[in-house]
Structure 1
Amino acid sequence: MCQETTEAEMMQSLDHIIANFEGVEGALIPVLQSAQNLFGYLPESVLKHISTSMKIPYSEVTGVVSFYSWFSTIPRGRNIIRVCLGTACYVRGGKDVLKALQDQLGIPVGGTTEDREFSLEVGRCFGACGLAPVVMINDDVHQRVKPSKLKEILSSYKESVEVVHS
C-alpha cells in the first residue's frame, strides 16, 4: 500500500517549484499549473502561499486563476467529464446528454461527485462535429453519445479505478 503525501510535503515541493522560477518573467502561470498538478486543485492556502513566496499581490494571483478556465479552486474528480455544447453537438442532443449526466451524477456543471470520481464541465467545440454529440472523459472521446448509454460509459471508468485499487 502506498503512503499518501502530506500537505506539508506538498508545500515543500511547491517551495522547490517556486524557487526554480525565481527571477523568471511570467512565472506565475507555470507555478500555478505545477501547484494544481501537485494538489489536484488550487486551495486558498496554496494561492496565499504562492502570493507571499513570489511577492505577487494575492488579488493578481486569484485574478489569473479565475481568468483561465483550466485552473480550479475546488477539488476535482479523478475523471473529468467534458460535454461539448458547440453548435453541432447542441443541435444533435448535447444538452440532453448534459442534463442526463447532471441527473446521474447528482452534480451541476462545475461540480464534483462526493466520492471525487467525476467532475462535470462543458466545452464549446472539441473539433469532432461529425461525431456529435461528443463527450470527453479525461482524454477519451466518446462519439454519438446518447443519454441511455451514459450509465454504461461511466461504469467503465469506475470499474477501471476499482481494479487499480483492489
Structure 2
Amino acid sequence: MSVRRLAENQFQPAGFAFSDENSAWVDRTIQKYPEGRQQSAVIPVLMRAQDQEGWVSKAAIEKVADILGMAYIRVLEIATFYTQFQLQPVGTRAHVQVCGTTPCMLRGSQKLMDVCKSKIHEHTFARNAEGTLSWEEVECLGACVNAPMVMIGRDTYEDLTPERLSEIIDTFEAGKGAEIKPGPQIDRWFSSPEGGPTALLGEYQPYTKAEDKPPEPAAPAAEGATTPPSEAAKPKSTDAETNAALKSPADGKSAAPAGTPNAQPAKADNTASGPAKAGATEPAEAPAAPTPKKPQ
C-alpha cells in the first residue's frame, strides 16, 4: 500500500466548519461517550466531515482535533491509517476502492483494476474529465469469501466480474448509484452458497435440550459375563522379562515355563488374612536353580 499523505497546498481550503445540521449531530455523538472518553468519537466525527466535503482536508483534521481536545498529530494518525478517509479530492459521484490483497488478487482483482483504468483514469486518485469518478487500490476490505470486490462510499460490491463492475461504474456516472443493491452481485445471500443452501435442507426440528430427554435404560448384562481387562494403556513388548508367565501366583507355586533360569515363586501374602495362627510355620522357599557354569 502506498504512503498516505495530505493533499498538496493547492487543494487545501482556507478553513473548515460543520454545517448547523452536522454540528448538532457531532454534539449528540460526543454525548454518547462517558466523561473523559469523548475523544473516542474521533472516527465518526472525522467521517462526518468527509461526508460533508467529500474528502478530509487539513483544516477538517484541525477542526475535529479542536472539538475533541486532541493534538493535531493524533487525528492525522487516524486519518492517514484508514483508507476509508480520503486525503485529497476524489470523484464527486463515486470513488472506487479495489481490493488488491491476496484472496481478491487470486480471484481476478487485476481485471477490475483494468476496468477502472479504461473507464475512469489510468492513474489512481486521478479523476475523470468530468471530476465525477476516481479509483484506487486498497488493502483487505473484509469480504474475502466473496472476492473479488470493491467499496464505493460505505457499501461493498462483491463477487464481481469485469463486466459487472463496468455496469456499476456507468450507473454511478449517471447519478443512479443508489439503484444498485450492495453486497454479492451473484445469486447468493451474503456468504451462503450460490443458488441457495446445499445442506440442512430437511424439515425443521425444534431443538430439545439433552436433559429434557428421558434416559435410555441400560442393556441388561448377560448372565455370567465377565468384563475382560483393558490393555489399551499397556505398552506392547516382546521382551522375556515382561512375560506374564514369570509372575508367580500367591500360592507359592512357580508359574515360570520350563527352562526359565532363576525362576522363583512369590511369597504368599499373609498380611491380609490377619495374624498367623500359633504353631504355623512359613513354607520353605524352593531352592534356586543352579547357574550353569561357563565352559573353561
In which range does the TM-score fall when normalised by the shorter chain? 0.5 to 0.7
Q: TM-score, normalised by structure 1?
A: 0.67
Q: Which residue of 2 aligns with 1:49?
A: 63
Which of 38, 51, 73 matches 2:52?
38
Aligned to 1:10: 18
What are the Cα deviations for residues 89-109 of structure 1, in whole angstroms up to 9, with x where unaligned?
312432132133123311533
The 1:58–1:107 alpha-carbon spacing in structure 2 relative to 1, beyond 3 Å, is farther
Cα distance in 1 for partners of 2:110, 2:120 equals: 15
Matching of residue 90 in structure 1 with residue 105 in structure 2:
yes
What CA RMSD, in Å, does the superposition of the two structures yield over aligned residues? 3.4
Q: Tell me what 1:134 maps to.
A: 149
Deviation, structure 1 residue 66: 1.0
Q: Which has the higher helix share?
A: 1
Larger radius of gyration: 2
How far apart are the structure 2 equivalents of 1:92 and 1:42?
Answer: 32
Per-residue displacement from partner, 1:111-144 (whole Å, max 9, x unpaired)?
4435342231334352344xx5434545362534
Q: Is contact 1:84–1:123 with CA below 8 Å preserved after alignment?
A: yes
TM-score normalised per structure 2: 0.42
- Note if contact 1:111-1:119 (Cα within 8 Å) is conserved in structure 2: yes
Which residue pairs with 1:66 in the alignment?
A: 80
Percentage of pairs with the same residue = 22
Match of 1:157 among 162, 172, 179: 172
The verdict on how the C-alpha distance between 1:15 and 1:24 changes in structure 2, with shifts beyond 3 A counting, is: farther
In structure 1, C-alpha distance between the alignment counterparts of 2:99 and 2:16, rounded to whole Å: 38
Q: Distance in 2 between the 1:9 and 1:34 partners?
A: 11
Cα pair distance change 1:126/1:119, threshold 3 Å: farther
Q: State the number of aligned residues.
A: 154
**Separation in 1, partners of 2:90, 2:67:** 25
Please, which of 29, 38, 43 is the counterpart of residue 43 of structure 2? 29
